[in-house]
Every structure is written in C-alpha cells, then in structure tokens.
Amino acid sequence: MKKLIALSGVAAALLLAGCGQENKAEDKAVYPAKPIEMIIPFGEGGASDTFARKFSTLMASDMPQPIQAVNKKGSSGLVGMVYAAQQPSDGYTILEVTPSMVIADALGVSKAVKFMRDFEPLARIQSDVYVLCLPENSKFSSFEELVKFGQTNPVTFGGVSPGGLDDLTLNALADETGVQVKFIPYRSGSEVKAAVLGGEVDIYLDKIVSAVNYIKDGKVKPVLVLNDQRIDQIDVFKEVPTAVELGYDVTIGSWRGFVVKKGTAPEVKQYLIDKMKSAYETKEYKDFAELNLVNIRPGYLDAEGFYKQWESEYKKFDKVAVKVGLK
C-alpha cells in the first residue's frame, strides 16, 4: 500500500509538472492573450494621435485581441515615455515615438528614463518632409538671398518652445549655412502661424502637410525643401530646390514609429513587427498616407535602420544643442 501511495505521488507530481510545462507553452503561444495598449504621448486630435489610432486599428484587424490607443500627453512626449517605461517588458505596451524622444536624450531632459537606453525599436512608419517658407511680403525672393543676408544679420523664427524639433532643425540648417537665427517664442502653434502671415518673423518652417494650403493660397512662398530629391508629386513644390541640391546636408524631418520596452521577448517583438509591416502595406493605410502627404518619401524603416536613424539624429541634435546653449 505504501508503495502504491508513493507511486501515485510520483505520478501526480509528473502530471503536474507536465501540465505546468504545457501551460507555459500555451501562455507563450497565445500572445496576445489580452488587449495591448498603444501609448500616444501627445494630445487628442493632432497628427500623431490620428495616425496612431488609425494604425492601431489596421494592425489589430486580424489579431485575437484589440490594440487600445491611450493618450498620455505632456512635456513633449516625456509623460507617455515615462509611463511606458514603468510597464512590464511583456509586449502589452507599445509606445508611439517621434524625434521628440531623441531630442529629450540629447538635451538630458530625464535621468530616470532614457529613450535610446530603455526602449527597443519595432519600426518607423512615417517620415515627414520639412519645407522652409517666407511670408508673402518677405524682402527675400529666394533661399540664397536669405542666406546672404543672414550670414551678417539675424533672421527671426517663431516657435512654441526652444529646443523643440522645429528649433533644432532650423539651427542645424543655420549651422550648415552660417545664417544667424533668432528664436521668437509664442504661446501656441496658431500664434506662430499668425506671426508668419503677419510678417512678424522672417522664416516659416513646417511639415509639408501643415504648410501646403498656405502655399497654395499664396500666403507664404516655399524656398527650400529639406530633402535629397525634389518633390514632383505636388505642383507647388516642383520648382523648389532641396537642401542637398544646394549643398547643405540637412534632411531632418518629423517621423513616427513604435517601440517596446527593452527586454521584450524576441518572438513578441517579431509578432508586432509583422503586424506593423502588414498594416503599412494595406491599401487603406496607403490611402491614409497619401491624404496626409506622408507618402512623399518612404515611411517604413525596419528596427535596425530605425535605431541607426536615432543615432544619427542624436549626434546632430547634440551638436546643435551645445552650440545654441541648450545644454
């Protein structure tokens, strides 16, 4: 009887062990077993919010669980980044990212959370192009005239806050051209645009999608595209020279992509990457990108290429930040 009891105990132990292994295998196989959060580190209604919500829906169209878009705005994306860093590295928290996160690293904004240290890239999905414009009543008729004047006299630029992407991008261009730039702060983006249209500042730098209607209405004149190739898809840009064409290696633009916390399992990352690539290739997303003018240059970049872009831009932002006294 004792022997039988002992054997029964061993059998039970083996059975439990087998079940444990089976459960672990099942847990691993069923990802995602619950809804995934996509953290949007900006407010509702903006370009980043609209894009992330659209893309999360496309990604989850054939997934067993939904992707829930959640806004965590504040401090140019830092609030959302800190929140994502506090979550487990299990693939159930995806963070939307923009150049603001690389800038935060370059400026040393946070010691507790570092973007390039604490997160791993999945993919870049969008890549915006910047265009530099002059107000309709500008005393300059070309970018070359602006450069010639600006090498001995400061030219003014309006922005919401120093150290943002617009500010650092323009200063990177100023560093290449020798132009002196004076930053004029405004309380909102609408005030910046009003200052441009009113001729209060000399330069207007913005994403093409934000500037194109002002250009078509004749309120501003495009004089430089921060790209390596001319934009032939849109009539108002066909005759506008590029930075590279004029000899300036400045093609910085805005971009949007996704990351997960470092330490996430490789198979989970690959699952998410596959879903992102599939969503990017859908006609629905292609139509969305065309409508929002983010199809001018290729948006998709794999994880390795995305990280290399971070490294390249970090060096540029770091150099500019030191030069203008931001660090």
pLDDT computed for residue 291 by the predictor: 94
8-state DSSP, 178:
T
- Residue 29's pLDDT band (cuts 50, 70, 90): low
User: Strands 204-207, 93-97: parallel, antiparallel or unpaired by DSSP?
Assistant: unpaired
pLDDT at 105: 97
Tell me, yes or no, if the two domains 34-128+254-323 and 130-237 fold the same way.
yes
pLDDT score, position 172: 94
Distances (CA, A) of 191 to 80, 166, 196, 254, 297: 26, 15, 9, 21, 29
Determine phi and psi for 266, rounding to 5 degrees: -55, -40
Query: Hey, what are 99's tokens?
Result: 């150049």
Buried b / exposed e across 55-90, counting CB within 10 Å, b at 16+? bbebbbeeeeeebebebbbeebbbbbbbbbbeeebb
pTM of the model: 0.87
The string of pLDDT tens digits covering residues 174-231 is 999 999 999 999 988 899 999 999 999 999 999 999 999 999 999 999 999 999 999 9
CATH C-level class of 34-128+254-323 = alpha beta
Report the pLDDT value the prediction gives residue 31, as an integer from 0 to 100. Answer: 97
Residue 121 pLDDT > 70, yes or no? yes
What backbone phi and psi angles, to 5 degrees, belong to 286? Answer: -60, -40
For the stretch 31-49, what's the b/e string if a residue is b when 16 or more beta carbons lie within 10 angstroms of its beta carbon? bbeeebbbbbbbeeeebbb
- Domain range annotation of the chain: 34-128+254-323, 130-237
Q: Check if the beta carbon of residue 311 is closer than 8 Å to that of residue 144.
A: no
Q: What are the tens digits of pLDDT across the range 31-64?
A: 999 999 999 999 999 999 999 999 999 999 999 9
Average pLDDT score, the chain = 91
Per the structure block, which two tokens stand in for 278? 């599939």
Cα torsion at 39, 42, 45, 49 (round to 10°)? -40
Q: Could you read off the pLDDT of 301-326 as tens digits, one per residue?
A: 999 999 999 999 999 999 999 988 88
Over residues 87-95, mean pLDDT: 98
Report the sign of the C-alpha dihedral through residues 72, 74, 78, 79, in that order: negative
Mean pLDDT value of segment 8-17: 37
Task: Give the C-alpha distances (Å, rounded to integers) separating 297 from 26, 82, 97, 308.
Answer: 42, 31, 18, 18
Q: Assess whether pLDDT exceeds 50 at residue 163.
A: yes
For residue 104, is pLDDT > 90? yes
Helix (H, G, I), strand (E, B) or coil at 53: helix
Instruction: Enumerate residues 6+ apart whose C-beta is below 8 A from 18.
Output: none
Q: For the residues 123-152, what does the mean pLDDT come to?
A: 96
In which band, very low, low, confident or very high, does the pLDDT at 8 lie, cut at 50, 70 and 90?
very low
Integer Cα distance of 100 and 105 in angstroms:
9
Residue 4: is its pLDDT beyond 50? no
Short-list 220, 148, 157, 211, CA closest to 185: 157
Residue 1, pLDDT score: 40
Give the pLDDT confidence of 268-295 residue by residue, as tens digits.
999 999 999 999 999 999 999 999 999 9
pLDDT band, very low/low/confident/very high, at 327 (cuts 50, 70, 90): confident
Q: Is the pLDDT of residue 21 over 50?
A: no
78-85 and 99-107 helices, crossing angle to 10° = 90
Question: What is the token pair recorded at 75?
Answer: 């401090």
User: CA 218, 159, 195, 130: dihedral to nearest 10 degrees?
Assistant: 0
The CATH code of domain 130-237 reads 3.40.190.10
